Amino acid sequence: MNRIRKSGIGALLVAGALTGGALGANFVGNAGAATSTGTAATSATSTDSSTSAGAPASAPDPSQGGHVANGITETVLTGDTATKVTAAAQQAVAGGTVDRVETDAEGATYEAHVTKADGSWVTVKVNADFSVASIETGRA
List, for residues 48-82, the tens digit of each pLDDT value.
Answer: 434 444 444 444 455 566 667 778 788 999 999 99
Q: What is the pLDDT of residue 39?
A: 39
57 falls within a domain: no
52 falls within a domain: no
Residues of the chain with pLDDT under 50: 30-60
Q: How many domains does the chain have?
A: 2
CA distances for 57 relative to 21, 37, 51, 61, angstroms: 15, 12, 9, 12
Cβ(88)–Cβ(130) below 8 Å = yes
98 falls within a domain: yes
Q: What is the pLDDT of residue 45?
A: 39
Residue 108: CATH number of its domain = 3.30.505.20
